Amino acid sequence: MTASPERGKRTLVTGVIGSDTHIVGNRILSMALEDAGYHVVTLGALTPAEDFIKAAIETAADGIMVSSLYGQGELDCRGFRDLCVEAGLQNILLYVGGNLVVGKQNWDGVEQRFLEMGFDRAFPPGTRTDAVIQLLNEDFAKREADVGAEAR
């Protein structure tokens, strides 16, 4: 996958939130994002929500991608968008993915809860990296188009 010059300038912060140590999927995603031309700041496992925000500020990130596999993502991610807004990152792109809740729950309901929490997208376990990258490219392109329309 080749990167356009615009995409090559995008910075993303990735990490595994809360008390979760499941890092393999997050590392695979980070490598795929780098291959697609993104600059990736990888925080690793056991990352508090506040550390995502600090890293996004320090690196002038365009997006934050939160991973959780141990089922407590819903608890760990509550208030995440509010923390972004408080830090002046109200327009940052927020993605979350993994095994976000305990037990087998209807994905549509899980996804809706995360969207209501302020995430731009939520991905179920097993989502392919190319699907994430495609949607990421589309979301950034839409934001650029919206900014261009507002400027006119």
* Strand partners for 64: 13, 94
**Whole-number Å distance between alpha carbons of 86 and 21:** 27
Question: Can 39 be counted among the known catalytic residues?
Answer: no
Structure tokens that stand for 62 in this block: 């365009």
Active-site pick, 22, 35, 39, 51: 22
Question: Can 22 be counted among the known catalytic residues?
Answer: yes
Helix (H, G, I), strand (E, B) or coil at 94: strand
Contact 71, 44 (CB under 8 A): no
Structure tokens that stand for 105 in this block: 């729950």
What residues are labeled active site? 20, 22
